[in-house]
Amino acid sequence: MNEALYEAVFCYTENKVDPFAQTYADFDRIISDMRLVGYEINSFNIAHQIMLEQLDMMLKQKGKVIEQTMDLDNRDQYCREKYGLSFKDIDALDPANDIEWDIKSGRVIFYLTHDAKHKEEAYFTFFKKSFDQFVSKTGFSYVSL
């Protein structure tokens, strides 16, 4: 890890704030993967890698629903009954472009982009369980802007 970056970002007076203090992740695997592709090992890039894994999982979850309903004549009704959203609303969710993250005050936060703010209710309807598990596992915080 870049010690100067760590000190600049997480050292407030004599106290250090660790954004990963509550994170239960396989850091050995994450750092190994990052080294394989040549990423610099620093806090922001580690948070980035953890978020990319979450976004990938969310995209897979959405993809499964689209695949399950592809041949259904009543897919809108099916999706409304099973997921609380229309097929069109589920299809419009784009975690890879709608969700951003940053490290602020020693915490990793994630949030919806300004352009995706109108989808917040749909995200929390469709991905509620996934968000809850992610926050519990990582200690990252969702912030509504």
**What pLDDT digit, counting tens, does each position of 57-66 carry?**
999 999 999 9
| 24-47 tens-digit pLDDT | 888 889 888 888 989 888 888 889
In the predicted structure, residue 107 carries a pLDDT above the cut 60? yes
Q: What is the DSSP string of 86-98?
A: -HHHHHH--HHHH
Cα–Cα dist 142/103, whole Å: 12
Give residue 1's pLDDT band: very low, low, confident or very high (50, 70, 90). Answer: very low
Cα–Cα dist 128/135, whole Å: 11
Q: What residue ranges do the domains of the chain occupy?
A: 3-142
Least confident of 38-42, 82-86, 133-137: 38-42
Residue type, 82: K
